[in-house]
């Protein structure tokens, strides 16, 4: 019995490691736009406007239409790269677009948007990161697609590339049809 102890230790450790490995979250498949917030009603985001006045966003304001919220900053390289895809997404779908500038100022973000493209109907500011924390952001850029009920349906961490924009476009159109049917 005692001779089996080394073998028992080895099997125990191997089993624990195997269990830990299979419990790791699997890599996302292409076109998988799920995230930690998908399926949840968007929480109230304590944001500011260009005059630094309180200008929160909440689910009630998004009812009845599909909304895309994009967190960005002028000092973020990938954010600059994805702007042309966001502009194309806006042109393809006409979706309501809200930009949230994280730790950035109007005096900097306005010329930056003129240079890289501006898909936003509305721009908000998140100077203290409270909006980012409320949504569980880990970095920028990050994009959320909200349906007509205020529910987060898709979440894209990182810069939107051309192929992901092409996958996302029909999904947004489908949500817009749902919104039209619900009216």
Partner 1 sequence: MRVKLFFACLLFSVTAHAVTIEKPLSDPAQEHEAQQAIRQLKCVVCEGQALADSDATFAREMREEVRRRAAQGDSSTAILDYFAGRYGQQILLTPPMRGTTLPLWLAPFVLLLLGALLLKQMVRRRP
Residue 74 Cβ vs partner 1, minimum distance, rounded to whole Å: 14
d(CA 54, CA 147): 24
Residue 76 Cβ vs partner 1, minimum distance, rounded to whole Å: 12
CB 98 within 8 A of CB 69: yes
Where does this chain bind partner 1 (CB under 8 A)? 2-3, 5-6, 8-9, 12-13, 16, 19-20, 23, 36, 103, 128-130, 132-136, 138-139
Tell me which residue has tokens 């006409």. 94
Q: Which residue, 76 or 172, has its beta carbon nearer to partner 1?
A: 76
Strands 142-146, 122-126: pairing is unpaired
Q: Which residue, 43 or 106, has its beta carbon nearer to partner 1?
A: 43
d(CA 3, CA 62): 67
Residue 104 Cβ vs partner 1, minimum distance, rounded to whole Å: 12
Total number of residues shown for the chain? 183
Residue 34 Cβ vs partner 1, minimum distance, rounded to whole Å: 14
Q: Which residue, 5 or 53, has its beta carbon nearer to partner 1?
A: 5
Q: Which residue, 3 or 114, has its beta carbon nearer to partner 1?
A: 3
- Give me the sign of the Cα torsion angle 74, 71, 138, 47: positive
Beta bridge partners of 151: 41
């Amino acid at each position: 019995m005692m001779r089996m102890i080394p073998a028992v230790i080895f099997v125990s450790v191997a089993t624990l490691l195997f269990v830990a490995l299979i419990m790791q979250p699997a890599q996302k498949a292409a076109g998988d736009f799920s995230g930690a917030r998908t399926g949840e009603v968007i929480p109230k985001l304590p944001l500011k406007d260009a005059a630094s006045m309180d200008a929160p966003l909440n689910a009630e304001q998004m009812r009845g239409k599909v909304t895309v919220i994009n967190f960005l900053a002028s000092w973020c390289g990938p954010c600059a790269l994805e702007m042309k895809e966001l502009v194309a997404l806006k042109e393809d779908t006409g979706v309501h677009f809200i930009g949230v500038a994280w730790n950035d100022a109007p005096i900097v973000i306005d010329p930056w948007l003129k240079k890289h493209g501006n898909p936003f109907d509305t721009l908000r500011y998140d100077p203290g990161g409270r909006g980012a924390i409320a949504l569980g952001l880990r970095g920028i850029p990050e994009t959320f697609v909200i349906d007509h009920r205020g529910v987060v349906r898709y979440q894209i961490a990182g810069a939107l590339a051309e192929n992901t924009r092409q996958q996302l476009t029909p999904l947004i159109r489908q949500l817009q049809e749902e919104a039209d049917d619900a009216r």
